[in-house]
Amino acid sequence: MVDAFNISICVSILNEEENIERCIDAILASSKDFNCELLLLDNGSTDQTSKILRKYNEINNCKIISFSDTVGLDLSRNHLLKNSSGTFAVFLDADGLVNSDYFSVLNQNLSQEYHIYSGPVIEQSSRRNNFYELHYLSLIKSASRFLIGANFVVNVSEALKVGGFPRITARRGDEDPLIKLMLNNGSKQCFIDTLIASNHFINSSKDFVKSFYYEGQNAYLYMLYFEEPFILKTIYKSIFLLGLFVIGIALIMQNFVIGLFGISFLTMKVFFQRKYWARVMHRAKQILSFDILRDLAVLFVAHVTHEFGFLYSMFTRKKPRCWLNKAEQ
């Protein structure tokens, strides 16, 4: 076990006047029995965030860092990482909340064996969010290395060894690439079921589908960054769309045999992600309503757009606006 005073809590903040007090107060309440360091970085906010942060200046072990201009989330996170005095750095979102026992749970689980820790991020809204229930919750339950940027912990020295958060996109914190770099460097990751934070998840069908498209584009970018096998990755990403294309041809030709071929391609894709889809269908069955059936269809469309995003970037080599030019990296 690692003592609590070896923990640095890092929060990058940009125009969060409506959420930041609740976020900080939840952190302080959860960490009150531990000698944690709290680093709050104001990333060039133009609302009342800076004024709100001033009242935390007098709190012991709380450090306020202010940027006059807004920089990318990866840069602000790297600044926090480099200025962390703890052995481990906890990264939380400024619009999220931690459970009251968050740091107690973390302190009980920290060890020298693991350099990366993550936990569930639950929907903060009291209203049911079907996209959270179907997609995000299924990811949490099915992925052994599930990680979301609103709740993860890294060993500071090990994260700095790989260069910190890589500069891949202009709008992301790029926590996933950092974790992959650390894993490639020999670090081990531990998922803690009871290390819980909450946040607001996408609840708009349009925004949900759009997010999958951008994630597909980022998947292509990560393939280039990590020099992953081009042919194998492309085949894997194409199976889903190929199945849909073959089924479409079968419907036009009214050919049952061709349709079976298309279904077999879709089945292959589902097989590779069988734990995830099993969770999705189990949750949909539990809720079973018109809304859940509609949003299940939206989820299917979102997965299609994810593959389109990947293939579009691959074939056109057109970089999305969120990608960085070489000069910016």
Q: For the segment 43-88, what is each residue's pLDDT rounded down to a tens digit?
A: 999 999 999 999 998 888 899 999 999 998 999 999 999 999 999 9
- 3-state SS record for 35-62: CCEEEEEEECCCCCHHHHHHCCCCCCCE
Q: Where are the domains of the chain?
A: 4-199, 205-328
Least confident window among 1-15, 73-87, 275-289: 1-15
Q: For the segment 41-53, what is each residue's pLDDT rounded down to a tens digit?
A: 999 999 999 999 9
DSSP 8-state secondary structure symbol assigned to residue 23 = H
Q: How confident is the model at residue 316 (pLDDT cuts 50, 70, 90)?
A: confident
CATH number of 4-199: 3.90.550.10
- pLDDT the model gives residue 2: 47
- pLDDT the model gives residue 319: 64
CA angle 165, 1, 115 (to 5 degrees): 20
Q: How confident is the model at residue 239 (pLDDT cuts 50, 70, 90)?
A: confident
Nearest to 268, CA basis, from 252, 298, 244: 244
Which tops the pLDDT comparison, 18 or 33? 18
Beta bridge partners of 84: none
pLDDT > 80? residue 207: yes
Q: For the segment 130-158, what is each residue's pLDDT rounded down to a tens digit?
A: 999 999 999 988 887 888 889 999 999 99
- pLDDT the model gives residue 327: 47
Which tops the pLDDT comparison, 5 or 160? 160
- Give the SS3 label for residue 98: strand
Instruction: Return d(Cα 166, Cα 260) in angstroms, integer.
Output: 43
Instruction: Return d(Cα 304, Cα 310) in angstroms, integer.
Output: 10
Per-residue burial over 257-288, b = 16 or more CB atoms within 10 Å of its CB, e = otherwise: ebbeebeebbeebbeebeebbebbeebbeeee
Under 8 Å between Cβ of 102 and 185: no
Longest CA pairwise span in the chain (Å): 74
Nearest to 93, CA basis, from 213, 243, 199: 199
Q: How confident is the model at residue 174 (pLDDT cuts 50, 70, 90)?
A: confident
Residue-averaged pLDDT of the chain: 89
Under 8 Å between Cβ of 40 and 64: yes
End-to-end Cα separation, the chain, in angstroms: 37
The full DSSP string for 213-229 is: HHHHHHHHHHHHHTT--
Task: Provide, rounded to the nearest whole percent, the portion of the chain with pLDDT above 70.
Answer: 95
- Give the SS3 label for residue 305: helix
Q: For the segment 17-30, what is each residue's pLDDT rounded down to a tens digit?
A: 999 999 999 999 99
